[in-house]
Structure 1
Amino acid sequence: MVAAALRQDAADVATYARVLTVTLADVLPPGSVEVEYERSLSDRLKGREGHPSRIVVRLGERTLFLAGGGRPVAEIHHEVRGVVLSRDQVTLDVWVQALARELVAQADASARAAEALRRLVAGT
């Protein structure tokens, strides 16, 4: 159900950035979600942050990358103490499933994370 909730509206990096930074940011460990933005000259002049171009989610020994553009590019890294042991470029579906597994593992460890996942699945 978590994977379905993540997949339902997410065709682009901006949607995932919103879900991860707004819906789940308060329950994930601090610093586990980073969003990189591309800013045009217009964005800079108007003081806007731009649009999300890349998301990095660090949960346990997994680091999940999602880069935008015309077609999202997803990677999953297995890291131990800052050393990348494996790096796999995957489809968006595989990335979503891996993210869902990591979020469920976080929820197992935290009652607040479990409540946020319930809200995400319920769409509230």
Structure 2
Amino acid sequence: MPEMEVELLAAALRQDSADLGLYANVLSTNLADSLPPGTVRVKRRRSLAERVAGREGSVAELDVAIGGQRLSLRTDPGRVACEICHEVRGIVLSRRQVGLDEWIDALAQSLADAAVTSARAREAIERFLA
């Protein structure tokens, strides 16, 4: 995928990142709907009010496994922790804490790399660029 398209994808992924809770919810939904089953894992945190109202709660953890990378995003109210792991057959070989911008760039690049061979990854990119 051309570098310009990766930059456009990264910009689209950054949209709404100022509100971390909203960002994590939108990103997790779009990725889970677009990528193959098992690629995206989402853990949610639900308050008592959310349970009573039947809402699914806010995203506490988002893990995306693409190629040999696992990109993890953890949220706490007003705070985010991002990590990029290199995995081979489920074994983590390296782990690196990164900032949100670097995490988004890595996610965009991983999606772009996967789009070369996967129609579902291409659909995910088209959804974010639309």
Instruction: Give the aligned length.
Output: 121
TM-score (norm 1): 0.86
Mind listing any 5+ residue stretches in structure 2 that lack a counterpart?
1-7
Mind listing any 5+ residue stretches in structure 1 that lack a counterpart?
none
Residue 2 of structure 1 and its aligned partner are, at CA, apart by 0.6
| Paired AA for residue 9 in structure 1 | D
2:101 corresponding residue in structure 1: 93
1:50 corresponding residue in structure 2: 57
Residue 13 of structure 1 and its aligned partner are, at CA, apart by 4.6
1:103 aligns with 2:124: no
Cα distance change, pair 14–54 in 1 and its aligned pair in 2 (3 A):
farther
- Residue pair 1:13, 1:67 contacting (<8 A) in 2 also: no
TM-score (norm 2): 0.82
- Aligned counterparts of 2:122 and 2:106: Cα–Cα separation in 1: 17
Identify the match of residue 29 of structure 1 among 36, 43, 46. 36
Cα distance change, pair 114–33 in 1 and its aligned pair in 2 (3 A):
same
- Aligned counterparts of 1:8 and 1:26: Cα–Cα separation in 2: 18
- Residue pair 2:28, 2:42 contacting (<8 A) in 1 also: no
Deviation string 1:39-91 (CA, Å, 9 cap, x unpaired) is: 11112222221111110111111001101112210001111111111010001
- Structure 1 counterpart SS, 2:64: strand
Q: CA RMSD in A?
A: 1.7
| Paired AA for residue 46 in structure 1 | A
Cα distance change, pair 94–59 in 1 and its aligned pair in 2 (3 A):
same
